[in-house]
Amino acid sequence: MKDKVLFIDGKVAIYKHHEKGFCVLANKDLRKDELITCSPVCVINPKDVKKSSSLDAYPIYWDKKKDCIAFGCINLLNHDLDSNVRLE
């Protein structure tokens, strides 16, 4: 079965992988420490998100007091503990 490209955005492409589901792969060779993509975020107070709500699955650590909801392909980036990218 062939993987399907859903969206190409400069340096990255979003794929529907036949076994792993949605994933983001480099669309070109990348240099170490090269910026891959930028996405807008909504900074939130973690206390404002109900644990049983659909938003509970999406917050990303922002700082000691705040989280954020990221838009764009950020939520599809590598979640492996041995990741080859970093989120800033």
| Residue 45 sits in the same domain as residue 22 | no
What is the number of structural domains in the chain?
2
Query: Residue 1: what pLDDT?
Result: 54
> What mean pLDDT comes out for the span 36-53?
82
Of 38, 18, 41, 37, the closest CA to residue 26 belongs to 37
Cβ contacts of residue 1 below 8 Å, gap of 6+?
18
Share of the chain above pLDDT 70, in %: 88
| Residue 44 sits in the same domain as residue 24 | no
Share of the chain above pLDDT 90, in %: 7
The domain in which residue 71 lies consists of 38-80
pTM > 0.85: yes or no = no
Query: Residue 65: what pLDDT?
Result: 92
Mean pLDDT of the chain: 81
Between these two residues, 75 and 8, which has the higher pLDDT value? 8
What letter would DSSP give residue 40? -
What letter would DSSP give residue 30? -
Question: Are the C-beta atoms of residues 14 and 22 closer than 8 Å to each other?
Answer: yes
For residue 67, tell me if it sits in a domain.
yes
User: Residue 44 belongs to what H/E stretch?
Assistant: strand 41-44
For residue 22, tell me if it sits in a domain.
yes
